[in-house]
Amino acid sequence: MNEITKYRKIALKKTFLLWNDFISLFFPVVCLSCGKSLFRNEDNICTHCLYHLPRTGFHLNNENAVAKIFWGRVNIEAAAAFLAFSKGGKVQQLIHQLKYKGQKEVGVSLGNWYGHDLHKTHVFSTVDLIVPVPLHEKKLRKRGYNQSAYFAEGLSASMHVPTDGHCLLRSSSSETQTKKSRFLRWKNVEHVFHIKNEQLLRHKHILLVDDVVTTGATLEACAQALLKVEGVKVSIATIAFASN
């Protein structure tokens, strides 16, 4: 690279940054958690909110609250959630932005951050494939995207593990789970998940991911379907854990 080309690139970069600063005066980029303006080096979530997010640390404890949900119900290797969910809190705001406001980058960023933590642990470091909990085609068309797939994308980038959003399918659109009991939630999704391309999953350690875990009924049904494949092991990771 000659000196003229080098200085042109530096000048163009400075012009781009100045133009971004000018645009931000009229269309500020805000934190998707607190709504305050982001600084140039911040991405989606401001440094203050990122520092104060309620991390669970569950990936460091095999007997954490998420893992206990599945005890005696389905044979998983490990389970964890990145953040603690509370009504009206920052995590609920982020989940809302991800699921209903089209802010897909929230899922990618949270997955990227959590993936760095998971990759340092013994169990999660052996994951071969990341699989998001699928949406039914009807809901996917209505929303336009699967929020869990973007969380999986972020995890994939920081864990250096591929993701596959097509091997696990949802064959029917179940009713909303919000006001159902634990048993009714499980019955609602008991037989709705099926495997495609089973041969690609054999003998793999799969990380099954979703946005929020409450009773674990949907994740349990997904895990049961995956565990029917020869040699498959399943671990679970979610963005947040909402206690009952």
pLDDT at 16: 43
C-alpha distances in angstroms, 45 versus 53, 92, 93, 213? 10, 14, 11, 22
How many beta carbons lie within 10 A of that of residue 106, not counting itself?
26
Rounded Cα–Cα distance for residues 88 and 198 (Å): 41
Q: How far is the C-alpha of 226 from the C-alpha of 207, rounded, in Å?
A: 11
Is residue 2 included in any domain, yes or no? no
The closest of 29, 12, 216 to 236, measured between CA atoms, is 216
Reported as a single tens digit per residue, the pLDDT across 124-153 is: 999 999 999 999 889 999 999 999 999 999
Alpha-carbon distance values, 63 to 60, 110, 134, 225, 231 (Å): 9, 23, 27, 24, 24
According to the model, what pLDDT value does residue 17 have? 40
Confidence band for 25, pLDDT divided at 50, 70 and 90: very low
Report pLDDT digits (tens) over 73-103: 999 999 999 999 999 999 999 999 999 999 9
pLDDT at 42: 78
Asked if residue 169 is part of any domain, the answer here is yes
The model's pLDDT over 40-83, given as tens digits with 9 standing for 90+, comes to: 777 788 888 888 999 999 999 999 999 999 999 999 999 999 99
Task: Give pTM, 2 decimals.
Answer: 0.82
Give the single-character DSSP code of 140: H
For residue 179, give its domain range: 54-241
Asked, for residue 187, whether it belongs to a domain, the answer is yes
The first and second tokens of residue 236, run together, are 């679970």
The tokens describing 196, both together, are 């495609």
Q: Tell me, what CATH number does 168's domain have? A: 3.40.50
Mean pLDDT value across residues 26-48: 76
Residue 42, domain member (yes or no): no
Residue 21: band (very low, low, confident or very high) from pLDDT cuts 50, 70, 90 = very low
Distance CA 65, CA 56 (A): 10
**CA angle 241-189-174, nearest 5°?**
100
Q: Looking at per-residue confidence, does 9 or 106 come out higher?
A: 106
Q: How many domains does the chain have?
A: 1
Would the pLDDT of 19 be above 50? Answer: no
The residues pairing with 234 across neighbouring beta strands, listed in sequence order, are 206
d(CA 163, CA 80): 18
